[in-house]
Structure 1
Amino acid sequence: MLKIISKNGLLLGLFALCCTGLVASVNFLTKDTIIEQQRKQLVSVLEQIIPNSMHNNQLTDDCILVANAEYLGTDEPLPVYIAKMDQQAVALAIEAVAPDGYNGDIKIILGISNDNELLGVRTLTHQETPGLGDKIELRKSDWVLGFSGMTYDSNSKPMAVKKDGGDIDQFTGATITPRAYVGAINKALEFVEQHRDELLSTVNHCGREHD
């Protein structure tokens, strides 16, 4: 009996080892493909929020990392992509997090001109309720397109959903998600207005250790 148990244990161990090796091999073989797909997706999103006609540099090559939990919603360094026309900064794209979504963090990215105009906003990741909160995805709803063209002024009233006295539509049966989303946009815009010169003058260091 003991011999049978030992034999079965050995077989299970070998099976687990083979499975682990297989998974590791697949990850190794597909790693570069996954990275390339992520890069293409990022480029596509950046093109949506900062039109190619506005700049002649590669946005992913002009990138810095910033960290500010108060305004960007997380302690983790987030990327800022600088759009330039003939070496002159004309706009930037910045990632931010809404930490108070209905089901957790909502990561977004905003395109902002030098005049504090919102060129576009897109959702990067979220865990909001399908059929309700997921309307923050462009493929589910055109709600995010409504932010394009809005401008930020520190002397003006921040953007807000209609339930909070603002002009932004909320979703039927779901106010927490759009409220969190709009709040993250407001804070990111305020951060950019306060730190624009610093952001535009920082040396490219995406992918390096954040100072």
Structure 2
Amino acid sequence: MMTEMFSAVRRSTLGIGVFAIVTAGVIAVTQLATKERIAANIAEAEAKALYQIVPPSVDDQLHEHRLPFHAPELELDNAAHAWQAIVDGQVSTVIMPVVAPDGYSGGIRLLVGINRDETVAGVRVLAHKETPGLGDKIEPSKSDWLNGFVGKTMSGPGDDSWAVKKDGGQFDQFTGATITPRAVVNATGRAIQYFRAHKARLLTPVTEQTGQPEGASQ
């Protein structure tokens, strides 16, 4: 009787162990597939957003003009890359990834294009978790709010006009939602400041550059 009970326990334990191994394997495969799918979705969104900021008629090779850089000032934890729109051998616009960490529901991943004259070429949102019907108006399909950045620039870090109207600035906020547009305005302002601080390198065509990514040794 006792022997049969021990055998049953062993079989049960073995079954549980096999089930745990199979389950762990399924979870690992699912996580890997999900991670790859997310990365593919982000890459697709990036490619689409690039040419919304700088149309192919300006530089149809924009996606290939990738410039490595390191920019913790833009809330980028890891090395990243910017894109250069090159016209007649000269960089006309630089598009940089930026994260607005202070969105209502978490970080907002952006692309911010800055022209060589320091005006904004365009802003696009790559990913966010903002509230549907309120904060999601940062999506071009929901509103044209992002177009308000085009052609604008800031006079410096102390430019009080570079803010939403509720804070005394020039940019509209959304009805019932101020945190989201404020986060995007602030992140775009940081992009302009970064561009100014590293302008010489950012405006040197990537094909002519050597050395480390900007800020790599800082």
Paired residues of 1:79 and 1:94 also in contact (CA < 8 A): yes
Segment drifting more, 85-94 vs 198-207: 198-207
Residue 179 (str. 1) matches residue 182 (str. 2): yes
Measured in 2, the distance between the counterparts of 1:24 and 1:205 equals 38
The alpha-carbon distance between structure 1 residues 95 and 17, as it changes in their structure 2 partners (threshold 3 A), is same
Paired residues of 1:55 and 1:90 also in contact (CA < 8 A): no
What is the match of residue 7 of structure 1? 11
SS at 1:54 equivalent: coil
Unaligned runs of 5+ in 1: none
1:75 positional shift:
4.1
Instruction: Identify which of 87, 103, 106 aligns with 1:104.
Output: 106
Aligned length: 207
**One-letter code aligned to 1:97:** V
Measured in 2, the distance between the counterparts of 1:171 and 1:95 equals 24
1:138 positional shift:
2.4
1:31 positional shift:
8.0
Measured in 2, the distance between the counterparts of 1:32 and 1:97 equals 21
Paired residues of 1:111 and 1:121 also in contact (CA < 8 A): yes
1:29 positional shift:
7.7
The alpha-carbon distance between structure 1 residues 30 and 51, as it changes in their structure 2 partners (threshold 3 A), is same
Superimposed CA distance per residue, residues 2-37 of structure 1 (whole angstroms, 9 cap, x where no aligned partner): 433332232232223234444555677898777555
Paired residues of 1:63 and 1:206 also in contact (CA < 8 A): no
Where do residues 16-35 of structure 1 align in structure 2 (5 Å cutoff)? Answer: 16-22=20-26
The alpha-carbon distance between structure 1 residues 172 and 35, as it changes in their structure 2 partners (threshold 3 A), is closer
Measured in 2, the distance between the counterparts of 1:160 and 1:35 equals 32
**One-letter code aligned to 1:13:** G
Instruction: Identify which of 199, 203, 215 aligns with 1:200.
Output: 203
Unaligned runs of 5+ in 2: none
Where do residues 34-45 of structure 1 align in structure 2 (5 Å cutoff)? Answer: 37-45=41-49
Instruction: Identify which of 147, 150, 169 aligns with 1:148.
Output: 150
Paired residues of 1:121 and 1:144 also in contact (CA < 8 A): yes
SS at 2:18 equivalent: helix
Segment drifting more, 189-198 vs 73-82: 73-82
Q: Give the TM-score taking structure 1 as reference length.
A: 0.80
Residue 48 (str. 1) matches residue 76 (str. 2): no
The alpha-carbon distance between structure 1 residues 156 and 60, as it changes in their structure 2 partners (threshold 3 A), is same
Which has the greater radius of gyration? 2
Measured in 1, the distance between the counterparts of 2:132 and 2:35 equals 29
Instruction: Identify which of 163, 176, 200 aligns with 2:166.
Output: 163
**Superposed CA RMSD:** 3.1
The alpha-carbon distance between structure 1 residues 36 and 103, as it changes in their structure 2 partners (threshold 3 A), is closer
Measured in 1, the distance between the counterparts of 2:175 and 2:200 equals 40
What is the match of residue 136 of structure 2? 134
Measured in 1, the distance between the counterparts of 2:171 and 2:53 equals 19
What is the match of residue 66 of structure 2? 62
Q: Give the TM-score taking structure 2 as reference length.
A: 0.78
